[in-house]
Amino acid sequence: MLKAIQILGSSSGFVSHHWKRHTSAGFSFVAISIKPLSSTSPSRSCLRGVATTSTSSSFLPMSSSTSRTHCSSVFPSSVRSESNPGGTSSSSSSVAVQSAGNARKINFCQWCGGATKHEIPDGEEKIRAICTVCGKIAYQNPKMVVGCLIEHDNKVLLCKRKIQPSYDLWTLPAGYMEIGESAAEGAIRETWEEANAEVEVISPFAQLDIPLIGQTYIIFLAKLKKPNFSPGPESSECQLFALDDIPINSLAFSSMLVSLNLYVEDVKAGRFKFHYGTINKRRKPVFESLN
């Protein structure tokens, strides 16, 4: 059966939503659009069961959508936009160089130190930073954030962030994937670092791309190897939450809200799927910042 859901919210707070989603036997597609709106009153209804509707539309921007379901006031204003969700230290957070790529911010060649120019190279379509001395191109690509959705006694494990951004908000243990590890290994490492919890990955659960900020979230279902956990250096608290008690008004990132939403839906359906989707954030219009 095909389903369609789409979410509309804001980069600094979800206030209404429209999901577009297609499901098949073993996986589902999700497309979420986030845009700034004026109302900010939160509700928990959609975490407890997102409204869905049948559609034949495709999830991809290249295809047109034919049906949408609206459910207003779902996302709390405290849900933040994703950036530097963890995985390194507070010191690395403070310099905030894990941002989405902008070639014009690259002024020097990291290999030879030469000044860069910002042009579209032959045969390409995007502006890149090109060294005027050695000619090398500094490519910037999306980063992967890997994390675990840990099930234990019908509860899920969340960590309260002790670092910026999204200080004091709750997140699944997750952080930037490193070179030299697999996504699953990275998710296990991040869980150890943020929650002192030793976990075993059960299955891939979701891939959520956020094109605007150049991030892809890879979330795995996991279980505790031992029933022990405690806050790591980047967390002030770690806690198991029953599904009805998930603090959706205090989640750190929209990707976490979407992941938990999909998880609750799968639990209710009695079957876990692999979910692939995009979270399409929109830059706030200029007039919005004048209010």
Interacting residues with a copy of itself between 221 and 240 (CB under 8 A): 233
- Phi/psi at 201 (5° precision): -75, 135
Binding segment toward a copy of itself, per CB under 8 A, in 34-42, 103-111, 150-158, 282-290: 103-111
Q: Please say whether the beta carbons of 30 and 262 come within 8 A.
A: yes
- Phi/psi at 207 (5° precision): -120, 120
| CA neighbor of 128 nearest in space, from 141, 137, 136 | 137
Q: Which of 2, 158, 188, 219 binds a copy of itself (CB under 8 A)?
A: 188
Interacting residues with a copy of itself between 108 and 137 (CB under 8 A): 108-113, 115-116, 121-124, 126, 129, 135-137
Beta-carbon contacts of residue 99 (< 8 Å; ≥ 6 apart):
83, 84, 213
For position 181 contacting a copy of itself by CB under 8 A, the verdict is yes
41 or 94, CB closer to a copy of itself? 94
Q: Which of 144, 240, 243, 267 binds a copy of itself (CB under 8 A)?
A: 144
DSSP secondary structure code for residue 267 in this structure: H
Which residue is associated with the tokens 């959508």?
65
Cis? peptide before 76, omega within 30° of 0: no
For position 278 contacting a copy of itself by CB under 8 A, the verdict is yes
188 or 248, CB closer to a copy of itself? 188
Beta-carbon contacts of residue 281 (< 8 Å; ≥ 6 apart):
11, 34, 81, 210, 212, 213, 254
Binding segment toward a copy of itself, per CB under 8 A, in 65-73, 152-160, 164-172, 206-214: 206-214
Q: Please say whether the beta carbons of 217 and 242 come within 8 A.
A: no
74 or 130, CB closer to a copy of itself? 130
Q: Which of 12, 40, 58, 77 binds a copy of itself (CB under 8 A)?
A: 58
Q: Which of 212, 240, 243, 267 binds a copy of itself (CB under 8 A)?
A: 212
Q: Please say whether the beta carbons of 82 and 211 come within 8 A.
A: no
For position 266 contacting a copy of itself by CB under 8 A, the verdict is no
Q: Please say whether the beta carbons of 170 and 152 come within 8 A.
A: no
Q: Which of 53, 92, 164, 250 binds a copy of itself (CB under 8 A)?
A: 92
44 or 118, CB closer to a copy of itself? 118
Which helix (H) or strand (E) covers residue 94, if one does? helix 90-95
For position 286 contacting a copy of itself by CB under 8 A, the verdict is no
Q: Which of 69, 73, 216, 261 binds a copy of itself (CB under 8 A)?
A: 216
DSSP secondary structure code for residue 264 in this structure: H
Q: Are strands 274-281 and 27-34 parallel, antiparallel or unpaired?
A: parallel
Q: Are strands 116-119 and 128-131 parallel, antiparallel or unpaired?
A: antiparallel
Q: Which of 5, 50, 106, 172 binds a copy of itself (CB under 8 A)?
A: 106
Least distance (Å) from a copy of itself to the CB of residue 42?
27
146 or 248, CB closer to a copy of itself? 146
223 or 284, CB closer to a copy of itself? 223
Binding-residue total with a copy of itself (CB under 8 A) = 77
